[in-house]
Amino acid sequence: MNSVGHARHYLRVVLLGTQRRKNIEVIGQDVKGSDYQGLERFISSSLWDHHSLMDPVACDANTLFGDEKLAGLYID
């Protein structure tokens, strides 16, 4: 499976997974047909531009909750 396939699996589990805690082992259990080693490689080694993901999230959060003094966005 290529990186795009792993990304689709990963995002589907993060957004729709049944488990509260997320780690590679739990993700592998939630995604039928996933490959632990491939997921581990995707999460630890894949290069991607986090700004293309986080910038729209920050803009949407600012629109919904924006307050320079009383609001903050913390993503873990």
* 75 lies in some domain: no
For 2-41, write each residue's pLDDT tens digit: 677 777 766 766 666 666 776 778 777 777 777 888 878 8
**Cβ proximity of 19 and 26 under 8 Å:** yes
| pLDDT band for position 76 (cuts 50, 70, 90) | low
- DSSP, res 20: S
Q: State the total domains in the chain.
A: 1
- Which residues, in sequence order, are CB contacts of 15 under 8 Å at separation 6+? none
Question: In the chain, what is the straight-line distance between the N-terminal and C-terminal CA atoms, in Å?
Answer: 27
Residue 70 belongs to a domain: no
Distance CA 38, CA 42 (A): 6
Single pTM value for the model? 0.41
What pLDDT sits at residue 29?
77
Higher pLDDT, 49 or 31: 49
pLDDT given at position 35? 81
Residue 51 domain-assigned?
yes
